[in-house]
Amino acid sequence: MKDDLKDKAKSRELSLIIESSPHIRDKDTTPKIMYRVIISLMPAVATSFYFFRWRAILLILISTASAMITEVLCLMARRRTLKTVLDGSAAITGLLLALTLPPSLPPAMAAIGASVAISLGKQVYGGLGHNIFNPALVGRAFLQAAFPVAMTTWIPPVTLKVDVATYATPLGNLKFQNAIALGTLTPLKDLFWGNVGGCIGETSAAALLIGAIYLILKKTIDWRIPAGIILSLSAFTTVFWLINPDRYAPPLFHLFAGGLIIGAFFMATDMVTSPITRAGIWLYACGIGLIIGVIRLFGGLPEGVMYSILLMNTFVPLFNHYLRPRILGERRPKK
Amino acid sequence: MNLATRMIVTLTSIGLISGSFLAIVGQVTKERIIFNKKHEIEMAALKVVPGASNVKMIYEERDFAIFEDRDETGNLIGYALQAAGTGFQDKISLGVGVSPDLNTVLSLIIIDQKETPGLGAKITDEISFLQYWKNRDCSKSLILRKPPVDNPNSLAPNEVNAITGATISSQAVLNIVNEAIKKARQLQAEGKLSERH
Amino acid sequence: MAEKTRKQEFFKGLWGENPITRQLLGLCSVLAVSNAVINGLAMGLAVTFVLIFSSLIVSLIRKIVPNQVRIASFIVIIATFVTIADRTLAAYFPHLSKAMGPYVPLIVVNCIILGRAEAFASKNKVSRSVIDALGMSGGYFLTILLMGLIRELLGNRTILGYPILGKWFSPWVVMLLPPGAFIMLGLIIAISNVIDFKIKERQKRV
């Protein structure tokens, strides 16, 4: 008898329609979001052309093309529909990767990087939405390990009109050439407009910020992530700068130098690899900012944006699991 | 036989058999292994002083040794210093040949290293690193030229080229060499490198 | 389950129960010393030697050794052969011995060897155990050799020290570093899974 009742209860339960969240939908679709991000990166692409000319455009085209071709090949190998190639996600990966490459990098290496970004950074996990790490950063980390010399050789922007083969980035100058003591720390104005050596798309903070503001206004990216990164990095660097300004650079320098802006606004905000809850987002963002600070101030490398985002990416599933908002009235189970 | 005895008997006999077997293997290979180790360092000591035909160790301490290099007629033509120090990842052990007055580095050889393959490990590479160590003036400390220059002739007599992208490993080698020469000079001043013909 | 034929017993180690791609055993040495073909070769041979002889001896004495002390006895036997391999390498191939560092002595704790001793040799006849050991070490050997081939080629453009790829190819340093080992191993396991899946699908259809 009892079993009978149970079965009945079960069948009633099964007749319910169960649908996983999200229940609220808006008109944003993946392609729409992706193309919005691509548009927001256009100012950065334009400035990269202004500062590094055709080298930059060539790298961007090759990297994007390689990313899309790899996406097609992977989808074919996985026997999936090829329609998703045009959703723009592969193009963004290729574009973002290109923007974080040094201008003198041989284009073949950019192609390898973009291919690794898509295949090992995204498709091996099962495609868009399943990846743990930001694909563009996976590609960049691979290139950094594969071609360490080519990835750390920099040339000056053409606008500087200096005739040297290699040229230190502002952060490299700070870490390896004793810039503060010599008084050669790159002026903030140059950092802001981008008239410095560095990766093709990260030099101009101004161009990136235009795109970032557009994305924040459109609510495509969560303002909390860049805010958390900027706040924590500023706090960290301010403390050390106040303790010893002869050794540590001012916080504003750190905000505009290197890949912080592109990392904070465009890489860390990747919807797939950032946490979904408020508490998770703040923890994630502050973690990134602090790790950047530690690497830049005390690490062997001049720049740490890439590694800190990748590191915090690994925590995202953990944050999503433990920092779920409680349902109204639910109590924490007693241990 | 009860279980306890059986356990003891089996383990003991397995241990005994293995042990005696290993003793034989150890005996057979012992000489060769010691010879290999010695041979490697002596060959290096011979190689770093061009024209040397025999070497003799005249001083030894932890991570540091000095060899006399003589030519066929028995003239002292240089010293080989064997030294080790910290590299980027692990200890780097090297041999450096110096002139009898300790003022010229004749050549350098890397005996052992575990630097990053393709980067720091290039310190063992003749073309990208070792060739710049021929006939350097070390009456003062040697210094590293970074970024490296293409033409070796444009290096100052006491400069050596760094390896692009592997400054830390290059610097480590340089420090070990400078340190070794300093030590040798001190020993010479104390008369411990007395010339015996 | 029906008794396997001797042929099946040998080939299962190469493919179906490959110690590296299927059982994921003894990965430490595979990851660490597969950065050059010669190191892979030497490591493969060392493991083959140890595995075959320890399986042989373990199988020979399987009825004498009391159950309670079997693991201890196996370890002593394995350690003996590892020490022989290690000393021989150090005496006659000093360069190889140096390149492999601690990984030859570490064969003692390589799970493949104790695993085969415990799971197979201690329960099977001598001839069968040796065939099993041959297959297993063959699987290990081929996989580490494949890793060595790809990693040396991409990371150093050479195979066994001979230049294969021209100057146009800039070596992927990452392949010689630990991440390269993990990436390669992952890819090899993935590809072998895909092939296995395809084979099974075809068998189903037939």
ipTM, 2 dp: 0.80
Least CB–CB distance from C173: residue in A106, A112, A147: A147
As separate numbers, helices (DSSP H) first and strands (DSSP E) second, chain B gives 2, 8
Q: Is residue B18 part of a domain?
A: no
Question: Which residues fall within 8 angstroms of residue C157, CB to CB, at 6 or more apart?
Answer: C163, C164, C165, C166, C169, C171
B111 in reach of chain A (CB within 8 A): no
Per this entry, what is the length of chain A? 335
Residue A162 scores a pLDDT above 80: no
Residues of A in contact with C179 (CB under 8 A): 145
Residue A301 scores a pLDDT above 90: no
How many structural domains does chain B have? 1
Q: Report the chain C residue with the minimal C-alpha distance to residue B38.
A: C94
Tell how strand B91-98 and strand B76-86 pair up: antiparallel
Residue C21 scores a pLDDT above 60: yes
B36 in reach of chain C (CB within 8 A): yes
Is A147–C175 a contact, with Cβ atoms under 8 angstroms apart?
no
Can you give the residue range of the structural domain that contains B74?
Answer: 40-189
Interval C96-139: pLDDT, tens: 888 887 888 888 888 889 989 999 999 889 999 999 999 999 99
Interval A135-153: pLDDT, tens: 999 999 999 988 888 888 8
Residue A17 scores a pLDDT above 70: no
HSE-CB at C82 with a 13 A cutoff on CA atoms is 17
Domains, chain A, ordered by start: 30-322 (1.10.3430)
Q: Is residue B29 part of a domain?
A: no
Token pair belonging to C60: 């020979």
Is A149–B164 a contact, with Cβ atoms under 8 angstroms apart?
yes
Between A194 and A28, the higher pLDDT residue: A194
So what's the pLDDT on residue C1?
45
Residues of C in contact with A117 (CB under 8 A): none
Residues of B in contact with C181 (CB under 8 A): none
Is B14–C173 a contact, with Cβ atoms under 8 angstroms apart?
no
Residue B174 scores a pLDDT above 50: yes
Which DSSP symbol is given to C120?
A: I
Report the alpha-carbon distance of residue A284 to residue A316 in Å, rounded: 7
Q: Helix crossing, A89-99 with A42-52: angle to 10°?
A: 40
Q: Is residue B107 part of a domain?
A: yes
Between A324 and C179, the higher pLDDT residue: C179
Q: Is residue B17 part of a domain?
A: no
Per this entry, what is the length of chain B? 197
So what's the pLDDT on residue B192?
76
B86: part of which helix (H) or strand (E)? strand B76-86
B6: part of which helix (H) or strand (E)? helix B3-47
Q: Report the chain A residue with the minimal C-alpha distance to residue C182.
A: A120
So what's the pLDDT on residue A15?
58
C172 in reach of chain A (CB within 8 A): yes
End-to-end CA distance of chain C: 22
Report chain A's C-alpha Rg in angstroms.
22
Residue B177 to residues A78, B80, B93, B172, B183: CA-CA distances in angstroms?
56, 11, 10, 9, 10
CA distance A192 to chain B (A): 28
So what's the pLDDT on residue A292?
94
Tell how strand C162-163 and strand B159-161 pair up: unpaired
Burial B24-47 (b: 16+ CB within 10 A, else e): ebeeebeebbeebeeebbbebbbb
B119 in reach of chain A (CB within 8 A): yes
Q: Is residue B196 part of a domain?
A: no
CA distance C171 to chain B (A): 8
Within chain A, strands assigned E span none
Q: Is residue B82 part of a domain?
A: yes
Contact present, A194 and A47 (Cβ < 8 Å): yes
Average pLDDT, chain B: 86
Q: Which chains touch A (3 or more CB pairs under 8 A)?
A: B, C
Interval B15-24: pLDDT, tens: 999 999 999 9
Residues of A in contact with C186 (CB under 8 A): 124
Residue C92 to residues A24, A325, B116, B137, B174: CA-CA distances in angstroms?
72, 66, 27, 39, 33
Q: Is residue B161 part of a domain?
A: yes
Mean pLDDT of A261-290: 92
Beta bridge partners of B59: B66
Q: Is residue B1 part of a domain?
A: no
Q: Look up residue C117 and give its amino acid.
A: A
Residues of B in contact with A152 (CB under 8 A): 165
Report the alpha-carbon distance of residue C167 to residue C174 in Å, rounded: 18
Interval A77-107: pLDDT, tens: 888 888 888 888 899 999 999 999 999 899 9
A166 in reach of chain B (CB within 8 A): yes
Contact present, B25 and C85 (Cβ < 8 Å): no
Within 75-134 of B, beta carbons closer than 8 Å to C belong to 112, 116-119
Q: Report the chain C residue with the minimal C-alpha distance to residue B20.
A: C80
Burial class (CB in 10 A: 0-12, 13-18, 19+), C63: exposed
